[in-house]
Amino acid sequence: MDKSVKQVFDAPGFAAAYENKTEKANWLGPDVMFGMSYRYVHAGEKILDMGIGTGLCSELFHRAGLLVYGMDISAEMLKVAENKGFTEELREHNLAETPYPYADNSMDHAVCGGVMHIFADPSPIIREAARIIRIGGVFAFCCLDGGDGENIKTRHCDHEIHGHTQDFIGQRLSACQLKLCRTLSFIVDMPDCKQNFRAYVVKKVER
């Protein structure tokens, strides 16, 4: 039987080894999402990192002068992020449980990297990002790219992972005031295979 996601990320040594593994896997999700978002963000604005892990995505936004808030299910991953000392606040929270502990329109922007493929249906993450960011703010995220047909289900390191099609994501975005600004496909060298990921930057618009 699969271990729970929390068990995997909280396992002894996992969080400490995480960034070495991502380096080997050419995990460029943080760089891609940051680069695609840069024109929309400004120093002093607040960004919420959903599934912050060790902070790989949001530390780039911190370097650009943004204030970083983070949430994650794994206490061990959060400890590594906290020890880096760049976050304003970190909360242990399961992204499957809504509402998230942030008020409507309380953040300028949000980012979610390397998380959505863990969810068969990432709709709660998209809906909550749309609720929490202000109008005009951006949400940067990436998915395992499901291609053109149906969403895909596959296995990675003995775990089920999910690929989402652009159509599937597009329908969820338009249901919650999020308009596509930019999208780009990129490759990640997972230990057992190469996988296509797709980064999105979307903007919250008036209804």
Ligand X SMILES: C[S@@+](CC[C@H](N)C(=O)[O-])C[C@H]1O[C@@H](n2cnc3c(N)ncnc32)[C@H](O)[C@@H]1O
16 binds ligand X (CB under 6 A): no
Q: Which is nearer to ligand X, 141 or 177 (CB)?
A: 141
Nearer to ligand X, 114 or 137 (CB): 114
Cα dist. 73→26, 92, 112 in Å? Answer: 24, 5, 13
Q: Binding string, 33-62, against ligand X, x = CB under 6 A? A: ------------------xxx--xx-----
Task: Give the residue nearest to ligand X (CB).
Answer: 53
Of 36, 41, 95, 133, the residue at the interface with ligand X (CB under 6 A) is 95
Toward ligand X, which CB reaches closer, 77 or 130?
77
Helices in the chain by DSSP H: which ranges?
A: 5-10, 14-24, 29-37, 58-63, 75-84, 123-132, 166-174
Closest CA to 73 of 142, 151, 3: 3
What is the identity of the amino acid at 150?
A: E
Please state, in angstroms and rounded to a whole number, the distance separating the CA atoms of residues 61 and 111.
Answer: 10
Q: Which is nearer to ligand X, 97 or 167 (CB)?
A: 97
Residue 192, number of CB atoms within 10 A of its CB? 10
Instruction: Tell me the number of residues near ligand X by CB under 6 A.
Output: 21
Site string for ligand X, 109-148 (x = CB under 6 A): ----xxx--x------------------------------
Query: Taking CB under 6 A as the rule, does residue 94 contact ligand X?
Result: yes
Beta bridge partners of 145: 164
Q: Strand (E) positions, the chain?
A: 46-50, 67-72, 87-92, 109-112, 138-145, 152-156, 159-164, 178-190, 193-204
Which residues lie near ligand X (CB under 6 A)?
A: 5, 9, 22, 29-30, 51-53, 56-57, 72-74, 77, 94-96, 113-115, 118
